[in-house]
Structure 1
Amino acid sequence: MTGFSIFDYLYRDASNYKSWGSLLLEGRATETELEQLRAQLNCDEFFIAEQVGIPPLYAELWKFSDGPTEDDHVWHTFHELRQAEAEEIAGQPWGSVSELIARFKSVNKWNEQLSPNWDI
């Protein structure tokens, strides 16, 4: 396994406020892996972070609203899976590209109740 990839994602509430996140991954993502990832997403872009063990991002917005609001929901948005730039490789990898893909492939149905926002 050589190289590193970045999984970029975001949380966007119903008022279109956004919080961005990135995961450093070991390995370079292939086009096939990207296709496998997209095939698991709801409507080709949405996922529930808690279900695949990815850090949720909504708490970043809660800093500005003093907690959850009626605009919060369960879905995070996939942005891209790309090759990491040299300056992005300094941190500890979250895991590998293959581990990330395996977590997404293990989802048969997205479970909204895994998010604390499911009943807001």
Structure 2
Amino acid sequence: MNTKIGYLYRDADNYKVWNEAVINGTLNDVQKQIIRKCLYDGEYFIPCAVGLPEKTFVSLGYSYDEQADHPFFELSMSDINVTYELPTVSISARRLTRNFIRMRNKWAEFANERTRI
């Protein structure tokens, strides 16, 4: 069994792009709570910083809008579910949890570095 993770990109104008990835293995309740505690303001994260893909309006072919676009995605624990689907990314539940721990309290710093590139 694997884990399907759904997460949302919502720009400042409230336009939305739904994202999802299936990781190898299952996230147990403890791992989910660890991930939740690592989120920025309890719900935001930057997928590429933890090994998940990102689909935004820019990746869909729209121009970058300095007023509306940003690097943060929303994650709700209710959008993390066990699935029999095959993994769509090459990251395990254990590695994903470690990546979130590594990023805890570093989201804003990562976002700032990313926008300078």
Same fold (TM over 0.5): yes
Deviation string, structure 1 residues 19-76 (Cα, Å, up to 9, x no partner) = 111111121221101000001001111012232232222146753xx31112111211
Query: TM-score if structure 2 supplies the norm length?
Result: 0.80
For residues 6 and 81 of structure 1, the distance between their equivalents in structure 2, rounded to whole angstroms, comes to: 6
Gaps of 5+ in 2: none
Out of 91, 95, 116, which is 2:91 matched to? 95
Aligned residues: 110
Residue identity over aligned pairs, in percent, reads 24
**Pairing 1:78–2:71 present:** no
RMSD between superposed Cα atoms in Å: 2.1
Q: 1:74 to 1:91 in 2, by over 3 A?
A: closer
Of residues 75-84 and 105-114 in structure 1, the stretch that sits farther from structure 2 once superposed is 105-114
Distance 2:20 2:113 in 1: 21
The answer on whether the counterparts of 1:40 and 1:107 sit within 8 Å (CA) in structure 2 is yes
Structure 1: segments with no counterpart, 5+ residues: none
CA contact (8 A) 1:17 1:61 kept: no
1:15 match: 13
Higher-Rg member (1/2): 1
Q: Given the two structures, how large is their TM-score scaled by the length of structure 1?
A: 0.78
Cα separation, partners in 2 of 1:72 and 1:94, compared to 1, 3 Å: same
